[in-house]
Amino acid sequence: MIEALSLGFFQRALLAGVMLSLLCGVLSVFVILRRMAFIGVGISHSAFGGVALGFLLGLDPLWSGIGFSLVVALLIEWAQERGRLEQDAAIGIFFAVAMALGVVFLSLSRTYNVDVFGFLFGNILAVGPYQVGETLAVSAVVLGTVTLFYKELVFLSFDEEMAWVSGVPVRALRYLFLVLLALVIIMAIYLVGIILVSALLVIPGAVARNLTRHISGMLWVSVAAAVAATLAGLFLSLALDWPSGATVVLVLGLAFFLSQASRLWPGR
């Protein structure tokens, strides 16, 4: 197992995995506090339409997926604001339409191959130097933005109406958070794939919510859970020859059940 650390592909997987899990751990807290778990599912699955469009047009599926997911995320928020739909209904509609478009795009494409499987289920062990660079760039943008607007995002997460009354640009921050969420979701697809990526955005924050109520503590616990699960999952997947993405999610699931069980202890 230690010998794996000398392998280039595993070093890249560790670096990309740690950065992606760090991003997911940070955003997961806000996702849990704002009850946005389902929107993560919607955006991640709508990315399938963008990936398929990339194969059809001969574009980089990552960037077509980012563009497509950003559009879908903003349309979901717009439909909720301008229409009479609740957020979960808007998500369900755009999620279904995007998936249907993905199926049509793939049926029209003659160039897609087994790479689609990688986008659906993840294969971070196959990332190259270019993908690691993309991950580091997105990480810098997302972490920098969250740091810059940290107080406003926390205020928004706990009391949106009071934030609005206090002069916080609520509408702009809601759109900004969706953009950050879409960027992280697309990058995290490298790690666990379209189907499982929502777990990275929900479980770390849920673990943190079980263990602490303070926002700063939740952030630390969420990041620690995401990073530890990613590292453990990557080493286990290599040792057991299991799919890396699914193994990471299983470790996260175990962490959640342990945190849930800890609430049964006396004094909790």
* Cβ-contact 241, 227 below 8 angstroms: no
Distance CA 96, CA 112 (A): 21
* Mutual angle of helices 170-211 and 61-82, in 10-degree steps: 100
Supply the DSSP symbol for 219. Answer: H
Supply the DSSP symbol for 214. Answer: S
pLDDT for 144 equals 94
Distance CA 199, CA 161 (A): 29
pLDDT for 68 equals 87
Domain ranges of the chain: 7-260
Q: Which of 64-73, 74-83, 227-236, 252-261 has the lowest mean pLDDT?
A: 74-83
Could you confirm whether domain 7-260 is CATH 1.10.3470.10? Answer: yes
Predicted TM-score of the model (pTM): 0.86
The sign of the dihedral angle between the CA atoms of 74, 40, 173, 140 is: negative
pLDDT for 113 equals 56
pLDDT for 146 equals 93
Distance CA 108, CA 126 (A): 27
